[in-house]
Chains A and B, each alone.
Chain A
Amino acid sequence: GIQVEQSPPDLILQEGANSTLRCNFSDSVNNLQWFHQNPWGQLINLFYIPSGTKQNGRLSATTVATERYSLLYISSSQTTDSGVYFCAVEAGAQKLVFGQGTRLTINP
């Protein structure tokens, strides 16, 4: 099956900093979604982005499908951005496969 690798596994930043999270995948994908899981366990869908670039406020994402990676950019980080960021992909197996996540901690 498809392999999904996220990096870095952990990231600690000060409030106001910018960050880039990466998701590499081992095969062509039909579907790629980014999620944020807050410290209480709630998963929020950030982007549905199998290819191209999207922006939503301080967050943006780019997927380069031909090179099999996606990037999530967070600008001007806030403490509420803390949590785990998951990339999930679908590559013909008819289900989303989640990466192991990047744990982001934003300190005030």
Chain B
Amino acid sequence: GQQVMQIPQYQHVQEGEDFTTYCNSSTTLSNIQWYKQRPGGHPVFLIQLVKSGEVKKQKRLTFQFGEAKKNSSLHITATQTTDVGTYFCAGRGGNTPLVFGKGTRLSVIA
């Protein structure tokens, strides 16, 4: 079945450093979504990308969808302690539920 791989599993950064997490699918995706889960909380939707090569920005967060619609990335510029949490990508190939990656847990050292 469809698989969504996400790397790295963990990332520790100093506050102010940049952070990137990558998501790769074994099949072409119709869309990709990103979610953030704060420690002790539940996943919260951040954004959805649909078009090949699409780039979207939310303040310090930049999301990209690959040209082949098989990979995506989330980049955070100048991390802050409020960015701490686990970031999940999720994608779908057809008329099936989203498949979630295992997530990247981000720790920010002040």
* Chains A and B form a bound pair: no
